[in-house]
Structure 1
Amino acid sequence: MANILVVDDEMGIRELLSEILGDEGHVVTAAENAQQAREFRAQSTPDLVLLDIWMPDTDGVTLLKEWQRDGLLNMPVIMMSGHATIDTAVEATRIGALNFLEKPIALQKLLKAVQQGLSRTQEPPRPTAPLYHARPAASPSTSDQAAVAATTAYAPGLQTGIAPPAPIAPASDSHLFGLSFDLPLREARDAFERAYFEHHLVREGGSMTRVAEKTGLERTHLYRKLKQLGVEPSKLSKKG
């Protein structure tokens, strides 16, 4: 049993992670923003922290830097995000994050990352150092080596098997796939996720089992996500 701190501004994510980790026998404390996480950390040291990157008051990377600066980064920290860039993931792991999980988080990846975090002896904070060293003059294979370096730098030492996100082609205007870039981030993300799950539900004839396999989600997580987005599988199955 471990004491785990979950920091995420989305109530659904906090509840889901608390339920899953609680079923595994852990004691979970949930914080909805960086300030609550600071207050908890000032009183005790958790065995593990699951920290969201994008939060309204202070983002997770900034909070991670604060803990490192104040000598409080002496516990494993796993970063979470559904839309982090490669640079953000690299920066978080360079500061001292142990791992990075991409949302929506598959159950097995979550449990594996938590197990690894709890079983690993926390190393002292690493000094800030350049990510890359100067290289000799370009050779025919230099571009290939750079590509490999950029890929592996996405999450050094991570064991989750998460590949770097595919590059997104720039849109010619403020819309992409019917989504307006003028929407607030949360609304745009919800709109995309709603369209994503509706597409798969129609394609799979409303079969939650096949949709769970296609999207890489555990069924319980999938049901919760659809309910949160207001998607009704029974209606979409008739369109398939």
Structure 2
Amino acid sequence: MTAPGGAPDALVVDFAGEEFVVAPGDTFTVGREGDLAIDDNLFLHRHFLVIEKVEGLWLLSNVGSRLSATVTDSGGRVQAWLAPGARLPLVFAATSVVFSAGPTTYDLTLRLSAPAFRETPRVDEADGQSTIGEIPLTPSQRLMILALAEPVLRRDGTGRSELPTSAQAAERLGWTLTRFNRKLDNVCDKLDRSGVPGLRGGVRSFATNRRARLVEHAVSTRLVTREDLDLLDEEQPSGDDVVHADL
């Protein structure tokens, strides 16, 4: 690793305000151990992510056996799910990497000074609306996601944050746990039907994993943002959304 301001074609890893510069020819490892030892969290692999330049292209590889990572461009318009054994080219000026290990969510930013792809401004539809790829949410569904993602959204920059349990998130909203879980089921079903991986229930799908995956997706794609957090403190109506709106 080199100090910031090294080779012009180097890659910079930014985690919790600390920067690491990876030069071509280096292999940078992220995990419980490695060049970026981010935590002693036993849910996290010893070696999880590897960054290296291969044949002129920077690659991000998942060398873990269980955990996945959500990888997006800085604008949240392009998203990939990096499963164990997969690798992905890094082509944007800034790439966000979000992943969870147990109840803890981590995010880091990878920056390239000479990216292979230059982002273009977002072009809205003629009527001022932009609907391609967006997932419509009811107000209560957005609140449910915000209650789960609040620790991540309130944190400045990259780093780590503990996800609330469903019971804690329900209490934050003043909801019953039954109501909260129903909203969680509805949102996960809606996103699953839209092609978002990792949210479908099953024998190996634990509650923590599903909440963590939902937060990863919502934050990295700007489904909810820090500017939405004020909604959590607004007085909520006593009634519920129309039932068919949640389906």
TM-score w.r.t. the length of structure 2 is 0.26
Which has more strand, going by share of residues?
A: 2
Which has more helix, going by share of residues?
A: 1
Q: Which has the higher contact order (CA 8 A, sep 6+)?
A: 2
TM-score w.r.t. the length of structure 1 is 0.27
